[in-house]
Each structure stands twice: as C-alpha cells, then as structure tokens.
Structure 1
Amino acid sequence: MSKSDFNSRFSGSYFGILWAVIQPIMTIIIFWFVFQIGFRAQPISNVPFILWLCAAMIPWNFFADAIINATGAFTSYSFVVKKLVFKVALLPLVKVTSSFFLNIAFNVLLILLFTIYGRFPGIHLISILYYNICLVALIIAISYFISTLNVFFKDATQIVGILLQFGIWLTPIMWVETVVPEQFRWILKINPVYYIVNGYRESLINGNWFFQNPRLTIYFWVFTIVLSIIGAVFYKKMKPQFADVL
C-alpha cells in the first residue's frame, strides 16, 4: 500500500516520481545559491556551507513531506475506512512509509555528498540510523493526532502546511543557532525537530554520538511518548465516528 501510495502521488505527470527528487533538490539549490552565492556565507563548523545545509535540510524534508502526507491518511483512504474490513490504524503508517522511501534515497545522496568532500561518516552512520528512527517515531506520534483531526476539520491540511513554513525558519536549518543569545537557546531546544537536525550535524560534521547529549535525548523521547499517547487516545475516541463523517 505504501508503494502504491508513493506512485499515486505522481501519477499522470510526465516525469512521474522524478518530481519527488527534483523538488527537494531544487529547494536545497535555491537556499544554497541565496546564502552561499548571494550572501557569501562562509564555511560553518569547518565544512562547506552546502554540507552544513544539507545535513539539516534532508531530515527536515522528510519530516515535512511525511507530516503533510500523513495528515490525509484517513480522508484519502475513506473507501477503506467506510466499506472494507481493514485495520484502519495502519493508514498513517502507510503514509509515513510512503514518504520514507524517498528519505532513504536522500540519505544515500547525503552520505555520497559528504564522501565526495572527503568526510565519509564511517561508524557514525549508526547515529544517522538512530536519528531516522527518532524521525519516524516523532512523525507517527504527530500523524495520529493530525490525521484524526483532519477527518472532522478539513482545514487541518492547510494549517499544517502553514505551520511547517514557520517551522523551517524557527528551526536552525538555514541559520546558525549562535545568533540567538545563549540564555534564550533553550527555546530552540523545545522543538523536537531541533534534536534531530542538530544530531545529524553533530554526527556528520563533528563526529559526536547521539548519547553524548543525554538531557536532550531524554526530553525528546518523553515528548514523543507523551505525544503518542495523546494521539492514540484521540484516535481511539474519534474512530467510531469516522464512517459517519467520511
């Protein structure tokens, strides 16, 4: 179902699934051109700006794509919810897995890019695998709440899109967190995506392990588990009304 869902997103277009690759790459190229060519951004953390940027943009692209995709999990499969005997709870997982296919390709591209610049991460690929697990866990936790909400409040998709536009700028992806005064940086760390984006950079650029920041790790998993419980309770409570609304 995930494979079919992934293919259906680009059915009817001339370039098909190539658009799934072209769009994120063009976004990265635009940001790279604006900041490195336009604003003449200098190397950050002793690596070229393009490596520093991609280390954060690629996990963010998966997060944003999967969240938007998962928001419509129940509405896009309304025929399954209403007429078939099917474990409806799997539908958000179908959407997240559909987005994960592309994430695998972009992580390979990211590793290749670092290798070309002579910075192959080696054993720290284990940390990248860990942060991908974190991403999937966080996305699933969010997806059950927003996909259930979208059944009853169709504007949820548009609101999520707007929030993601704010999110990319509120997360230190295109800018360095040191521009924020030190006493206020804790605000950035409330955002669970910060943990993943920063973790990617720490692993690929500085060679640090995910367990070297235990306080942030504990906070992330407590936040994700609590969010999962909220999403599961909300889904369980509203599921009996799905068929009537859809």
Structure 2
Amino acid sequence: MNYLKSLYNDRNMIMQLAKNDFKVRYLGSYLGIFWAFVQPVTMILIYWFVFTIGFRTMPIGDVPFVLWLIAGIIPWFFISEAIASGTSAILDNSYLVKKIVFRVSVLPIIKIISALFIHIIFIGIIFIVFLAYGYPVTIYYLQVFYFLFASIALVYGISLITSSLMVFSRDVGQIVAVLLQFGFWLTPIFWSFAIVPLKLQLLFKLNPIYYIVDGYRNTFIYKEWFWESPLLTVYFWSFTIGLIIIGTILFKKLRPHFSDVL
C-alpha cells in the first residue's frame, strides 16, 4: 500500500518523465511520432496481404481475417514494446539511478506509460476499423480497460526482473529479444488456436500473453466477459502477481549495487 501511495504522490513526475521519454524517442526525425506507427501498420498490412491475398485465408468463423488479426496483434505490439523498453529502463536513465532521492523502481513504469501512449491510439483504431466493418459498439468494449490493466501488470512484473538483471549483464537485452520472437510465434496472434491439438492446448494457455490476446478478441469479436474463463483468469493473476513479487524482491536486493555497476 505504501508503494502504491508513493506512486500516486509521484504521479506528476512519472507522467512528465514518460512524456519526455516518448518525445526523446522520436527526437531528430522529420516525421516524429509517425515512425511509432510505421512498423506496426506495415506488419499488419504484410500479414493481411500474405494470408488474405496470397494464401487466400478464409475468415476465422464468420469474422473477416483483418479484424481477427488486429484484435490479437495490437495488444502484442504494446506488450513486446513495453517489455523491450522496460528491460533497458535503468540503463537508459543511469543518471537518475545515482540520485539518492530518486525512486528507481518507477523507471520501468515510465517506459510502460511511454509505450502506452501509442497503444491507446491503436485501441482507437480498432474501434474505428470494427465500426467500418459494421460491428456496433457494445458494453463488452469496456472490458478493454481490464485487459489493458492486466497487460500493464504483466509487463511491469517482467520489467522489474529484466531491468534489474540488465544492469549486470547486457546480454539480458538480447535474450529478451529472442524470447519475444518465440513468444510471438507461440501465441495465437495470426494463427487460430483451434488448430492446436487438444492435448497441447493447456500448454499453450500457460503463456500469459495468450490470456491478453484472447481477451482482446473476446472483447471485440466474441462478446465474452473475462470471468467466463475463471480458471484462466485465476492462473493469469497468480502468475502475474508472482512475477511482481519476485521482481520486487530481486529489485530491492540488487538496487544497492546499481550505482557501482553503472
């Protein structure tokens, strides 16, 4: 509770640092923030063209492939970007680490909020695209805020661990990048979970990102509430809270040594 209270008290500083991080990321480029959308949109268009035009992929059920794709790939963009940037949070702000009065544990949060700015715009794009295809806004859309919070919690737990270890070994960044590649292909983002053999489905569901991706699709396409999958919800939050606890303990243990290494 004390930690949450301190975050609330420091909310203005955190938001200002997140805005600065966002601006610095695109500082010096002529197109600025436009570049934040180039890679995600390009990937969506490539997958849409390859699987819809090239392989002539049929709609998933009665849902157009492009809608099914963006509902799954957009949360992945946020999660992968937030984990990658959160991993380097301490190294990127080493000058703040050496200030005794600065709460270093907020650095991963700053990176996550910075990535969140773009993700919120992409959520708006999902709304627009679904409306363009004739899907009306429903009360289920409110559920996106729940899965957004779940994504932030998961990413924060991971970032606490990876950012702490990254200070002592730069190889952690490369390992995270490789694991994100595996995570992309092992998560049903552009392939249907229905093709997974029944005996292997439980194994794939152990991937916490599956819960987020499936949740976005349930929100925008299948109209299902998260509490309709109680076992998966309990597992996700048990896993995520466990990560946050482990990350917090590891961070506190390694924090006194950050200044010596940086």
Class of the TM-score when normalised by the shorter of the 2 chains: over 0.9
Q: Hey, which bits of structure 1, 4+ residues long, moved more than 6 A?
A: none
- Gap regions ≥5 residues in structure 2: 1-16
1:1-246 matches, within 5 Å, as 1-83=17-99, 85-246=101-262
- Gap regions ≥5 residues in structure 1: none
Q: Is the 8 A contact 1:121 1:207 kept in 2?
A: no
CA–CA distance in 2 between the matches of 1:151 and 1:184?
37
Residue type of the partner of 2:208?
A: P
CA–CA distance in 1 between the matches of 2:148 and 2:61?
23
Give per-residue Cα distances to partners, 1:89-121, cap 9 Å, x unaligned.
111110000000001000000111111111134
CA–CA distance in 1 between the matches of 2:213 and 2:56?
23
Q: Is the 8 A contact 1:45 1:205 kept in 2?
A: no
**SS where residue 224 of structure 2 aligns?**
coil
RMSD: 0.9
CA–CA distance in 1 between the matches of 2:45 and 2:120?
19
CA–CA distance in 1 between the matches of 2:100 and 2:93?
10
Residue type of the partner of 2:82?
A: A
Give per-residue Cα distances to partners, 1:146-186, cap 9 Å, x unaligned.
00010001111111111111111100111111111111100
State the identity %: 48
Task: Give the number of equivalent residue pairs.
Answer: 246
CA–CA distance in 2 between the matches of 1:193 and 1:29?
22
CA–CA distance in 2 between the matches of 1:172 and 1:190?
13
Q: Is the 8 A contact 1:141 1:228 kept in 2?
A: yes
